[in-house]
Structure 1
């Protein structure tokens, strides 16, 4: 019996829900058979999903004191790094996250994304009062929990313009930051649902689609833009990013009416790998150095302090605020600033936190 794409998507969603403990194996098998799978195939899918849950439970209970790679922060960057590194079955990878699994309706339902701000799924950092903001304190919200910012943002997929990347390449003296190099990466990671073109990828992990709401304001805005000389475009992330810009329909990371975060794209498919451990609700409080090399972290988990070593590499991907904060608390930063806070200086690095 042939299975259409919608049924395949529903099966993938059901399999993910088994991994997250939201439905039982029996319930999954019932959904899978209704979607066109045989009992044997449905049972195999269910077993794979249940194996991912059991694997993570087993790995966390048997938490090691040393891993090849320790990654701090399960946001967009940390998840991708963990997924890619763990493709090597010989590499033991630990992914540490201060928040939880973000298994709440406000994260999954695209329409509810603004309600995540100020909840357990986010950090809210206040700026100091700024004269150019009329003395106001503007809060900065950042993701907390599996998926990081990709679990609470507005799900818009917006690439940078050619000029942005060319400027990065110029500033760094590294052509790999240039537009052509970055475009190749975009094409590799995208699973674009629109018309094919040389600017888009169709076989990647990240599901990208045009917004499907058909809000009447959209064509009205496009006509208004055209009336003042801003051209319309069918693909805001295509050729437009090499030209002077344009007005078009936003592209989003929404699949089957649900948020499609970086965790959906990269982490959930990796949870059954025996060499991957995801440790949630764990706050890293310090980095330890051996000479000039970061070799271990200290963290709080389940009410106890633990020390875990990274034999190959320690990766910090805790966000643009928490990463420099952790570095400074570990004595890595401007020596004068650290001494004012009675923090022992390990490495004088004046650009940290600036």
Structure 2
């Protein structure tokens, strides 16, 4: 069934497409909306997101055994992020996770909710857990920073870009200078039947579209499941060990690959931020080839027009690409020069292992 948000009835609303269909891409003034959102004066309708709930006394220990994050004794109200990996360590599902003391809430991409709920249902065995796809009952509203008018609602606070307990940064930037610090992101869980009134009652906050939230996400180097991930993606390539993986927890599916790459090698690809040539007044499509010297070395995974920086993108490219090289994003016959800004360092992995004492032998 196709979803359509009630907030599309607001003046000027233009519906998004692709994974963001069903909510507004903008309400008539994308750059103003983006500026308001960045300044904490707007909220974004993300009600097309999926919401999966897990209840029962075994919920946290059970989820802990299945996913990449340490969830044992997670205090009520504390936000975290976790991944479900394949046996080969590739990202299968990613979830924003919040526990309220009785229920664990998993916020996912809308296309993932049904599949995740079904996968969890098959894995419950005899444990005391109940799983439900609650997407039809709950909506998500995003903001930069807290929103006083939504204070009564459960809120997931993005840990990005902090390095959470048991995590490790793969980015080359100094932590204090990480651009994600300019985007303290929150997502509120609002009953679907009160979404319209909850947002329209926020007199001091305007509505912004997903064009605004996506531009701020790209500028913050924040990976998004289904955009930066594909069927080969591992967490190291996207710097997700900082927020979504606990390197010292017990066994879970895919742990062997996570540990091996972190301790002994390098991820085969790396996430990079691109400053695109804006002289053409257009943007390349997501999925466009990233080219160096006539050879495809990766794909542009998220593309946006930032209100201050202009055209920007995230891309996943081969680790061996020279960080100083000027790349080209090729969208059919259109070519866009692209200057790199390193996110995941080309030498991340082995150097990380040596710095933390994981490797054996000469240093």
User: What TM-score do you get using the length of structure 2 for normalisation?
Assistant: 0.21
| Higher strand proportion | 2
Of structures 1 and 2, the larger Rg is shown by 1
| Higher helix proportion | 1
